[in-house]
Amino acid sequence: MAGGDRDLTGRRILLGVAGGIAAYKVVEVARRLTRLGASVHVAMTHSASRFVGSLTFETLTRNKVLTDVMELDAASEIVHVELGKRVDLIVIAPATANLIARLAHGLAEDPITVTALASPAPLLIIPAMDHHMWANAATQANVETLRERGAHILLPVRGELASGEVGWGRMQEPEAIVEAVCAQFGPGPLAGRKILVTAGGTREPIDPVRYIGNHSSGKMGLAVAQEAARRGADVTLLYGAISVPLSAGIKAEHTPTAADMAAAVQRIAKDCDALVMAAAVADYRPASIASQKIKKGTDLTLQLTSTTDILSSIAGLPLIKVGFAAETEQLLSAARDKLRRKQLDLIVANDVTAEGSGFGSNTNQVTILGRDGSMEELPLLTKTEVAARILDRVQELFDERS
């Protein structure tokens, strides 16, 4: 399960829902937080209730939803003031540009801002908006103001927006939001663990302008790094060529070639508790790199030489090692062979020709094979969910070893 075995029993959370299309995803956040034991109190703006009905939240959380600033409770107390005093955390999702502006300026004219203003509880803000609105200097200044006052911001990601355009501004997925909420309440299950993750494809230079590369996007490795960080691990990310942005807050080192990545892994892995090797490392590189651009002429033959097999080169280290096997045929037997040959604890096998599992896709259908002979076939999941499943297994191995 994404989020591991986090327990929010006894935690009181105010979930502020503002008016954006992402409000429908926050229904899932309310459900998950409630399932983890939290007492979730939803406050909605008028425009939020045009996207999702308050009854949906009320049914899931079993708590009355605050929709009216002027509401009094049975003891004639002002509901929002009392609620603000009692909650341990205020989570605002989706936080629209307008809501963020009101929060930053102390305006109290809707059930969310009026409660937040009256509350000493920490704020976790989950923005969601059009990418132009997110990039606007006014929004950025407002976010900065809130951050300076101690608010935590779960930054939006790049993706498809309500307008149909692609850009920064898309709200993080419910599982990421739940993890961020859990993180507010204490160390995650991987706190104190050092995890090294590799991502993306290596590029092996032919001459100053050309290289041999592959189609890896880096999405899977980045998802593992983000998920491990969310669970409290001290993460180092080594990345080759990637087509998605790095997350702020994760230590990252660019290792463009297989040799760069090998040297970095050998340097860092000895101090780590686990390595997740999601990078697509070239098996061959040009035997020599031309110092000048190679000119067009007759047919050209490139001589290739093997690169270091990074996982095999650290087989003697005691850390938990997770490899990937991206195959186009005989998936499981090839993966089992790699697991044994590279002395891994786990290998994540995926058929890159299967629908929804190719390079650059946001989803992946994998089977996780263990050194102990275990085989866990997962359904088609988002890469974030796959990352969560892999880390669940890594956590189990840590537990077994300690």
Q: Which residues lie near ligand CTP (CB under 6 A)?
A: 258, 277, 279, 281, 283, 307, 309-311, 323-326, 338, 342
Judged by CB, which is closer to ligand CTP: 131, or 342? Answer: 342
Instruction: Give the count of beta carbons closer than 10 Å to the beta carbon of residue 7.
Output: 12
* Terminal CA-CA length for the chain: 22
Give the nearest distance from C-beta 252 to ligand CTP in angstroms. 17
Judged by CB, which is closer to ligand CTP: 170, or 389? Answer: 389
Give the nearest distance from C-beta 304 to ligand CTP in angstroms. 13
| Residue 94: cis peptide before it, omega within 30 degrees of 0 | yes
Judged by CB, which is closer to ligand CTP: 15, or 281? Answer: 281
Interatomic CA distance for residues 276 and 265, integer angstroms: 11
What φ, ψ does residue 14 adopt, rounded to 5°? Answer: -95, 125
Judged by CB, which is closer to ligand CTP: 17, or 237? Answer: 237
Those residues whose C-beta lies under 8 Å from the C-beta of residue 70, and which sit 6 or more positions away, are none
Give the nearest distance from C-beta 281 to ligand CTP in angstroms. 4
Q: Amino acid letter at 381? A: L
Q: Which residues are catalytic?
A: 214
Judged by CB, which is closer to ligand CTP: 185, or 359? Answer: 359
Give the nearest distance from C-beta 70 to ligand CTP in angstroms. 59
Half-sphere exposure of 250 (CA within 13 A, CB side): 30
Give the nearest distance from C-beta 228 to ligand CTP in angstroms. 16
- DSSP one-letter string for 43-88: EE-TTHHHHS-HHHHHHHH-SPPB--TT-B-TTS-BHHHHHHHH-S
Task: Please count the residues of the chain.
Answer: 402
